[in-house]
Amino acid sequence: MRLVLVLGDQLSIDLSALLKTDKAEDVVVIAEVADEACYVPHHPKKIAFTFSAMRKFAQKLRDDGWTVAYTKLDDPENSGSITGELIRRAVEHDAAGVVYTEPGEWRLIEALGNMPLKTHSLPDTRFIATHQEFEEWAEGRKQLRMEYFYRDMRRKTGLLMDDDKPEGGKWNYDHDNRKPAPDQVDYAGPMQFAPDKTVAEVLALVGARFGDNFGDLQPFWFATDTGQARQHLAHWLKGGLPKFGDFQDAMLNDNRFLYHAIIGLYINAGLLDPLEVCQKAEEAYRAGAAPLNAVEGFIRQIIGWREYVRGIYFREGPDYTARNALGHDRKLPAMYWGGETKMNCVAKSVGQTKAEAYAHHIQRLMVTGNFALLAGIDPAEVHEWYLAVYADAYEWVEAPNVIGMSQFADDGIIASKPYISSGNYIHKMSDYCGSCAYRVQDKTGEDACPFNLLYWHFLDRHRERFSGNPRMGNMYRVWDRMDGARRETVLQEADNFLQRMDAGQPV
């Protein structure tokens, strides 16, 4: 007999390791281990979600006829690592070897490859593009832009296709998906599930072991099995999808979710199949229940962006997370861990993250990510923060989004220019600025929005690198036309702000 490893983000009944083994002979190994729970200080909600979903999936396998060797975190015989548990179970069951589906993190791929056991790794077939397909697409291209990869994924899946042409005549409707925050939101938000007995036991364990981690464990409302996740998806398709496209970039003080799907954590853990999710969204469009711009934007995030960043992660290799093209070395300020800040946009984004283990892509990219880039925070620290605090974060998806898209630390592999903005973008897309201690209209002075100061500070200190970028030339022309004394004031005030932040003062 063999052992069949199932990791906490592989909770899919059609996992390749399960499909290629024999439930009558082989033993499934699932383990809650300290190494996985502690390699970054994960949000307690993320740990509770993962352990709850793992325990329920193990029972589902047992009900389906599998023998499951399950290790709980508080098992006194728990070795503390995935490899340790495999070795322990191999001895216990006299196993001939281990079959597993390729993990989504290089550290686990390396650890499993170095075990003193016979192993057989299988590709993760839950993704639409194989590693080989992405390599073939990328080979010989000067720029690896997601848009062109996405079009190939549309053709491969047939999603929103009219024969060989895109539905509606255009591939991308992103231009229609940038409306500012609405006055009111007529969607109640994600479906919430009361903890059952299994979840309650996990919550008690996580509260005792990880109660000091950044993040609120309670209230806990995530779906923790495929049935619940599908209920949530149906709820969102009906109530959230119709206006998702219009307002997907908007942010509000008093609404954490707007029209967002909140399904990344379910897809990334394996509770929902990404292609099935996209097909359900397309069905809503075909039935006239959702507009094309909303459905195309949603599908693009999954079969376009999600598949693309996975391709980048594996193509670039294990050193990707260590890249720092801009040489940024400032420490991550305490406000990212809930410390005091006078910037309302940061306080709201971090506060929401603490409460929900969730923030949507614009809060991540254009608030916390934008500030970190402008301020010159070490991208390794930024990367570890995002990996720790979000329930949907696994390294294969998080690292390219942070190292590449958000922090430009990969020197432009993903983004053609840094994603930076002054306070005006946040003001346009949210109601954050109206209740901020700073004034977004002020470009200099005691009340000036820090994003306004740091925006020009970033451009000035990286002029040699970016002044020749055709997408940034106009920014530098505006800076150069500015009065010299005003430029000096901007840079001095930005330096003063950064010095106060470095000294631990609330900013």
Q: How far apart are CA 477 and CA 470, in angstroms?
A: 12
pLDDT at 261: 97
pTM of the model as a whole: 0.96
Q: Give the contacts of 468 (CB within 8 A, at least 6 positions apart).
A: none
Domains in the chain, start-ordered, CATH in brackets?
Answer: 3-122 (3.40.50.620), 131-189+240-306 (1.25.40.80), 334-502 (1.10.579.10)
CB neighbour burial string for 468-503, b if at least 16 within 10 angstroms, e if fewer = eeeebeebbeebeeeeeeeeebbeebbeebbeebee
pLDDT grade for 433, boundaries at 50, 70 and 90: very high
pLDDT grade for 307, boundaries at 50, 70 and 90: very high
**Tokens 């491969």 appear where?**
156
Please give the helix or strand (H or E) that residue 243 lies within, else none.
helix 241-247
CB neighbour burial string for 136-157, b if at least 16 within 10 angstroms, e if fewer = ebeeeeeebebeebbebbbeeb
Q: How far apart are CA 336 and CA 364, in angstroms?
A: 12
pLDDT digits (tens, 9 = 90+) for 480-493: 999 999 999 999 99
pLDDT grade for 318, boundaries at 50, 70 and 90: very high
Region of 230 (left: φ > 0; alpha: ψ -120 to 50; beta: rest) is alpha
pLDDT grade for 203, boundaries at 50, 70 and 90: very high
Q: Give the contacts of 44 (CB within 8 A, at least 6 positions apart).
A: 206, 207, 210, 211, 213, 215, 216, 217
337, 338, 341, 342 alpha-carbon torsion, rounded to 10°: 140
Q: How far apart are CA 415 and CA 397, in angstroms?
A: 15
Residue 372 has pLDDT above 90, yes or no: yes
**Token pair of 397, please?**
């998806």
Burial class (CB in 10 A: 0-12, 13-18, 19+), 287: exposed
98 - beta bridge partners?
Answer: 3, 119
Q: How far apart are CA 457 and CA 479, in angstroms?
A: 10
- Sheet order of strands, 27-31 included: 67-71, 27-31, 3-5, 98-101, 119-122
pLDDT at 413: 95
Q: How far apart are CA 110 and CA 314, in angstroms?
A: 13
pLDDT digits (tens, 9 = 90+) for 267-291: 999 999 999 999 999 999 999 999 9
pLDDT at 284: 98
Residue 176 has pLDDT above 90, yes or no: no
Residue 178 has pLDDT above 90, yes or no: no
pLDDT grade for 174, boundaries at 50, 70 and 90: confident
pLDDT grade for 9, boundaries at 50, 70 and 90: very high
Q: How far apart are CA 408 and CA 418, in angstroms?
A: 6
Alpha helix segments (H runs only) across 300-435: 307-316, 344-356, 361-362, 370-375, 379-389, 395-399, 423-429
pLDDT digits (tens, 9 = 90+) for 94-122: 999 999 999 999 999 999 999 999 999 99
- Whether the upstream peptide bond of residue 219 has omega within 30° of 0, thus cis, is yes
Residue 181 has pLDDT above 90, yes or no: no
Q: Give the contacts of 503 (CB within 8 A, at least 6 positions apart).
A: none
Q: Residues 172, 173, 175, 180: is their CA dihedral positive or negative?
A: negative
Residue 5 has pLDDT above 90, yes or no: yes
Read off φ and ψ for residue 330, nearest 5 degrees.
Answer: -75, 145
What is the secondary structure of 168-227 as a DSSP string? GG-S--GGGS-PPPPS------S------HHHHHHHHHHHHHHTTSSS---S-----SHH
**Tokens 């962006």 appear where?**
305
Q: How far apart are CA 92 and CA 459, in angstroms?
A: 60
Q: Region 429-458: what's the mean pLDDT?
A: 97
pLDDT digits (tens, 9 = 90+) for 121-138: 999 999 999 999 999 999
3-state secondary structure of 100: strand
Residue 175 has pLDDT above 90, yes or no: no
**Token pair of 457, please?**
């500070």
pLDDT digits (tens, 9 = 90+) for 220-275: 999 999 999 999 999 999 999 999 999 999 999 999 999 999 999 999 999 999 99
Please give the helix or strand (H or E) that residue 19 lies within, else none.
helix 16-19
pLDDT digits (tens, 9 = 90+) for 51-83: 999 999 999 999 999 999 999 999 999 999 999
